[in-house]
Amino acid sequence: MRDTGWMIPFENEEILAKKYRIRLRGIDAPESAMPYGKEAKIELTKIVQGKPLRVLVYGEDRYQRCVGDIYCNNIFIQEMMLKKGLAWHYAAYDKRPELETWEKEAKAKRVGLWASKNPEKPWDWRKNKRDAN
């Protein structure tokens, strides 16, 4: 793994007092109102809540969220979300081939959102919502 990010600094007792908004680098999950949106949020919460996380931050997005890779108990969270069919590979922003592979595996198995024939991509859904307003 390339380790070009930076770690969020904290002391053990400070982690509960400070909250960070982190955008998972390279993937995009369905919005809450979309099919599988609630399932994606529940699954992510189940995986990480109350557990120590390793966060490698690669920058900030336009909403001032840290953009990074997250590991929980040596599990790469983006890999888990893609393999469960609960996120898309966000290829426009991240060209890592393993993300594409994990998405293709989930599609082939028709798991999660890939059980639908043509699930709407969250970036298209958000654009359509903006255009409608």
Q: Which residues form the catalytic set?
A: 23, 31, 65
* 8 Å CB contact between 24 and 90: no
Strands 27-28 and 88-89: antiparallel
The residue ranges of DSSP E strands in 1-133, in sequence order, are 6-7, 22-24, 27-28, 53-60, 66-72, 75-76, 88-89
Please report how many Cα atoms fall inside a 13 Å half-sphere around the Cα of residue 93, on the Cβ side.
16
